Amino acid sequence: MKTFTYSLFFLFLLPFAPAAAMTNTLTPDAVVQMALAHNPALKGRHEDLNMATARRVQAEAGFKPHLDARAQAQHFEGLENGTLGPGLTLPVIDDQYSASIGITQPLYTGGRLTQQRRSAQYQEVAAQHSLAATASDIELQTLTTYWQWSKALAQITAFQSAVVRTETQLTDTRNMKNAGLATDNDLLANEVLLDQIQLQLQSAQQQADLNRIQLTQLTGQEITPRQSPLKPEAPAIAPFPNLQGALSIALSNRPELASLRLNAQASTALIGVAQAEARPQLSLMARYEQGNPNQRDFPPDDKWRDDAYIGAAVTWNLFDGGLTRARTAEAKAKASRDTYQLQALGEAIVAETQSAFLARDFALSRLKTSKHAEASATRNLQVATDQWKNGTARHSEVLEAQTKLTLTTAQRIAAEADVLIAEATLKHVIYWQ
């Protein structure tokens, strides 16, 4: 399992993020770190965790004794002495004061406090997993955009080289036409090929600019044209487990699945909270107070007198118009809904894992095939060019070979990047370190 301590992470990372953005070559790790440090959604998840922690502390506080202090001062006008009988008068005390301190300790709540604390604990851990899941999503989104940017820039270089080759070929064709060794159709075909490659070059340039804009949004720092990513070179095959092993890891490690599972448990605990409202509540109370006059003395006199007491209070909600029953039904429905969502997410993760494995296998297969095709296209162009110069091949064969080389080079570059994206996706899907 990955562990994220984002408070310290942000404090450590932010001083270095601007410096990383100013280097000419940006590594994937540096861009991911900048995105994690900047992302508002991730910061929001961190605040969700803070709120969940605060709710857990509140729930735990219910088990502790509550201490309170009271003070009161009153002045009365228009009061008259009271007479209880011959020779017995209750004097008027216009100024009255009192102060007390008391403690209350819940003894029995029908399970309400226990279930509240349990629900809050589940929610806190769920918030931690939700934070980790959001970070994982951001990491994948950033890496995907990064390697798409790398792919576009690499294809720009490939198309620029193809433009140079085609322009050289066009010059040779013009010279041979002037010498009567090439036709107008040969020259026109060469010009059409050059236009097609330049269109592909412009498309790749546009894609690179779009990816830079996306990375600027993800990292919160401007990615300039002077900066560049690493080249899309697929590494050696990572030692991933087989499909069944990956499915087991994904269902155990995916943080959003753990978060939803814990939220479902928290919802189940809230059923007990609602049901506890129909049970008696018992609390122990103690208070010490002083008053002038002390209202507990009779007859009262204008002196400070103290008293203390200890006792127990029992409350029982005998009838509330169906409120407790409705709250219990709501809690049960929420728990059932969370269970169904958990089931749906588990099924989606299984499908994602299977799809990610297929995508990775396909990307690796495409890379192997595209490398072989590029090598063959390079040799084919050399042979066709030599034969055309020797007069044993048609000009159209050279143009066809040129087109094939440009296409296979672009396909090989795309396959390299796609393998890197597929690796990142598979790691994300099974939450693989």
Query: 6-38+109-280+316-430, what's its fold?
Result: Outer membrane efflux proteins (OEP) (1.20.1600)
b/e per residue, 359-373, with b = 16+ CB within 10 A? bbeebbebbeebbeb
Helix axes 28-38, 184-219, angle to 10 degrees: 40
Mean pLDDT of 178-199: 88
Angle at the Cα of 398 from the Cα atoms of 418 and 174, rounded to 5 degrees: 120
Short-list 171, 146, 206, 10, CA closest to 424:
146
Mean pLDDT of 91-119: 91
% of the chain with per-residue pLDDT over 70: 92
Short-list 80, 109, 131, CA closest to 314:
109
pTM (global) more than 0.95: no
pLDDT in tens, 42-85: 999 999 999 999 999 999 999 999 999 999 999 888 777 767 66
Q: What is the DSSP string of 330-389?
A: HHHHHHHHHHHHHHHHHHHHHHHHHHHHHHHHHHHHHHHHHHHHHHHHHHHHHHHHHHHH
Mean pLDDT of 357-380: 93
Six token digits for residue 28? 């994937």
Q: Is 107 helix (H, G, I), strand (E, B) or coil?
A: strand
The yes-or-no verdict on residue 23 having pLDDT over 60 is: no
Task: Give the amino acid at 171.
Answer: T
